[in-house]
Amino acid sequence: MGAFANFPYEVVETSGEHALATWEELKRAGRGAPVALGEDAFDNLLAPFDPSDRARLTPIDEILAAAKSIDFPDGLRQHRRDEHAKAMAYLKTIGSAAMDFGVEESEAPLVEWPAEPWYATSLTVAYDFATRRTKPTGHIALIPTDDPTAIPACMQWGNWNECPPPAFHVAALRAWRERYGADVMT
């Protein structure tokens, strides 16, 4: 797996049983932001770092600068409209008779916010829901940042299928932190 060999961050291997305790220990150590890497998505998470696909990498500072210019959630809505328009224009150039289904404009449903936060007793990426057992191993990456909202930029996370580019994830995390006091638990 070339992507893993070229992954630029330290990865700590632990047992699935001790994954949360290891994550907490790494967080307290102040060596960066620990990120639990799910085995099921390991290849997808590391894909941007594959040497055969280096063109996908965007400098982190460029992603963070782009995130500053995004007014979330309105910027995401506009991005989706723009992407839809590009897709429809492309389909027309290849003579597709595809129907224009439009872009759904919807807000997330509002629900009652819990009075007390929910605290995990384990990491879900270290648990196999099919077998109802803890996975034998887990991996935690140490991302060199004091700002956990920058993690999507460092991980180059997004920009496939309907998943927006990393700058939108950074903008969302920062908006939620500012508006709701949300804290990123990675």
More reliable by pLDDT, 67 or 52: 67
Q: Please check whether residue 26 is in contact with residue 144, taking contact to mean a CB–CB distance below 8 angstroms.
A: no
Predicted confidence (pLDDT) at residue 53 exceeds the cutoff of 60: yes
What's the pLDDT score for residue 3?
58
Q: Using alpha carbons, list the distances in angstroms from residue 160 to 45, 90, 105.
A: 12, 17, 21
Query: For 31-42, what is the mean pLDDT?
Result: 82
What's the pLDDT score for residue 103?
46
**Per-residue pLDDT tens over the stretch 83-130:** 988 888 888 888 765 555 554 555 556 677 777 766 666 678 888 888
Query: Residue 34: which pLDDT band, with cuts at 50, 70 and 90?
Result: very high
| Domains identified in the chain, total number | 1
Query: For 7-29, what is the mean pLDDT?
Result: 92
Per the structure, the complete domain to which residue 175 belongs is given by: 7-97+122-180
**Per-residue pLDDT tens over the stretch 121-166:** 667 888 888 888 888 988 899 999 999 999 999 999 988 888 899 9
Q: Does residue 114 fall inside a structural domain? A: no
Query: Residue 60: which pLDDT band, with cuts at 50, 70 and 90?
Result: very high
φ/ψ region of 124 (left if φ > 0, alpha if ψ in -120 to 50, else beta) reads alpha
Q: Does residue 103 fall inside a structural domain? A: no
Q: How many other β-carbons are positioned within 10 Å of the β-carbon of residue 27? A: 17
CA distance 135 to 17: 7
Q: What is the mean pLDDT of the chain?
A: 84
Q: Does residue 105 fall inside a structural domain? A: no
What's the pLDDT score for residue 49?
83
CA distance 62 to 99: 36
Q: Does residue 106 fall inside a structural domain? A: no
φ, ψ of residue 53 to 5 degrees: the values are -130, 35
What's the pLDDT score for residue 44?
73
What's the pLDDT score for residue 120?
60
